[in-house]
Structure 1
């Protein structure tokens, strides 16, 4: 068996060939990783994200452009708000951390803000790990890490993640900070947006735990990653920052379990036909065949999380797969996996009458026919 370094190099080369030799890799961020963890059975998304394929460009080349993603206006507004929160060495950000999460500590009047610049994601990851070690050695002081770089193994391939900020408390605790541009009205924000932010932050917590596990400092407690993250948003309809502590223990546990279920990217890549390439510049027929060579697990939830959702939805509907109706419907139908099978079972043309699912479908069909018959007689 080849050594790990050789295997890793071979995998990176294989993924580069799948992406296209002249196509730059798209980094797998925490938002995409959280969406991937929410649908671990989708091999198509796993291999495309692992290979660094730009799924938005791929969807356009397939003729199913996606409207998924943030507008340029939202990105500009978000960047301006983040710059305001981090102004003056992150004074306002640290004040919010102290107020919401650590009131018993001394106020962060003179926090350390280390320089995290380095060459490439691997260099930035190493520099972040060093800064976290130095912060642990400086026990009793506040430290703010602005856009650190973290690494997390995803199905045998490293993903480099960049949280908005990480704060090291005087007691050695580490807190993830998420800065969002959606408003917090009267102390609360849109639950759906808060949930998405919590899932994203949970990915950062997992990556930070990997770093903390390798840091040991004499005469100081072991670093502890806080399971409460700080969500910073504009207050009401102003541009003033406010914050709320969000417990992400549930999201962290779910994400860790789902990531562990992901099929290794190497295993998926090895099953693809020779010459498979997802380069958007390829002819449409070749590109469609390449995408279809990887099985997908489509569900309506994909529409808000994946750029290929429209393409996969069309294919799922054409095949009559019941998952296109939703995961809850799929769970209720048991062994019946296609819409034609469900309709045949409901009409009494197929299926075992002793099967509870088949019996329920036939009962529902009888009630429907009875209701329609009663309505026609009126």
Structure 2
């Protein structure tokens, strides 16, 4: 599906969190599951979307993470101890697990082994960029959290390091929420590893969010409860249609290679149903293409999920207008009755405005 010789683009936690927020979109589920580069695809379709960090922001974030993890993660472990486990022994004799492996599957296996060994050690252990696997729509997604810490009592904590600042003790709520949703995906992946151990260790439902303090490069941290985000993400990922079922409904030989002619590529993308919503503009590279197609088809989803939910079985703007003007729709349908009442009020307002118009001299 990606095209000959095109490498797979791996799923990350940010993409999974966005996918879970719109589980009805088969287009995103298939393209992400097949490893299609949606940014390159959007460019080829003539509807590019600007995503990702600038080089400056990336370099700043990398420098901050390096500082947080310096000296064997001493500062990071101190923050975990202070914010999440102050009654435990201070992390003076902590160890850093060796996660070296030749490929993704090897790193995943090495991470699982390191977690198993650290759980019974009774000391603090830091796993720097471990590799976790999470089944998504019948296919494994490999995820790489910033860090995982094993406490002396054998419990596991996800650590998320972000470069956005905490100013006067508060951070941007939208950015904190996005970080919490991303961390919830890592918690789910860790629980998959824990479930294979006997007895299974507890994955803590509070993660550590580490950010720069004020305008400095000094780290500060807070514990973030991700139980709600974890439950929502697990429920939404479980609702995703299996990739095999989506692929089986496609025409034989369909391909999403950006090297294809624009007309052929557009036809291929249109074979996969999409569920567009305005929220997609902040999370999906194909959002501008899907919005244009939704508007061209007159789909009410382009107006937002709240409007879509109020309109019952009406799927297009044409159906809505026909119901509002009494052409179609049952009188006892609450959505139809509300539309006709709104149309009558609008007509009354226009008539009154026209009657009060004073011609210009």
**TMscore range, shorter length:** over 0.9
Gaps of 5+ in 2: 357-361
Q: Secondary structure of the residue that 2:96 maps to in structure 1? A: coil
Q: Quote the residue 1:156 is aligned against.
A: 138
Q: Quote the residue 2:75 is aligned against.
A: 92
Match among 39, 43, 47 for residue 56 of structure 1? 39
Preserved CA contact (<8 Å) 2:120 2:154: no
Q: Quote the residue 2:255 is aligned against.
A: 277
Q: How far apart in 2 are the matches of 1:215 and 1:279?
A: 41
Q: Quote the residue 2:359 is aligned against.
A: none
Shift of residue 372, structure 1, vs aligned partner? 2.1
Match among 5, 14, 21 for residue 4 of structure 2? 21
Q: Quote the residue 2:150 is aligned against.
A: 168
Deviation per residue, 1:272-309 (Å, 9 max, x gap) = 10110111111112111111110000000000000000
Q: How far apart in 2 are the matches of 1:182 and 1:232?
A: 9
Q: Quote the residue 1:65 is aligned against.
A: 48
Deviation per residue, 1:17-45 (Å, 9 max, x gap) = x1112101101000001101111110100
Shift of residue 374, structure 1, vs aligned partner? 2.1
Q: Quote the residue 2:319 is aligned against.
A: 341
Match among 227, 232, 253 for residue 254 of structure 1? 232
Match among 96, 107, 111 for residue 113 of structure 1? 96
When the two structures are superposed, what TM-score results if normalisation uses the length of structure 2?
0.97
Q: How far apart in 1 are the matches of 2:290 and 2:306?
A: 18
Shift of residue 67, structure 1, vs aligned partner? 1.2
> What is the correspondence of 1:239-250 to structure 2 with a 5 Å cutoff?
239-250=217-228
Gaps of 5+ in 1: 1-17
Deviation per residue, 1:311-359 (Å, 9 max, x gap) = 0000000001101110111000001110111111111222112211100
Q: How far apart in 2 are the matches of 1:153 and 1:192?
A: 27
Q: How far apart in 2 are the matches of 1:351 and 1:270?
A: 35
Q: How far apart in 2 are the matches of 1:338 and 1:286?
A: 26
Shift of residue 228, structure 1, vs aligned partner? 0.2
Shift of residue 185, structure 1, vs aligned partner? 1.4
After alignment, is 367-376 or 285-294 more displaced?
Answer: 367-376
When the two structures are superposed, what TM-score results if normalisation uses the length of structure 1?
0.93
Aligned length: 356
> What is the correspondence of 1:127-138 to structure 2 with a 5 Å cutoff?
127-138=110-121
Q: Secondary structure of the residue that 1:298 maps to in structure 2? A: coil
Q: Quote the residue 1:365 is aligned against.
A: 343
Q: Secondary structure of the residue that 1:144 maps to in structure 2? A: strand
Q: How far apart in 2 are the matches of 1:89 and 1:142?
A: 12
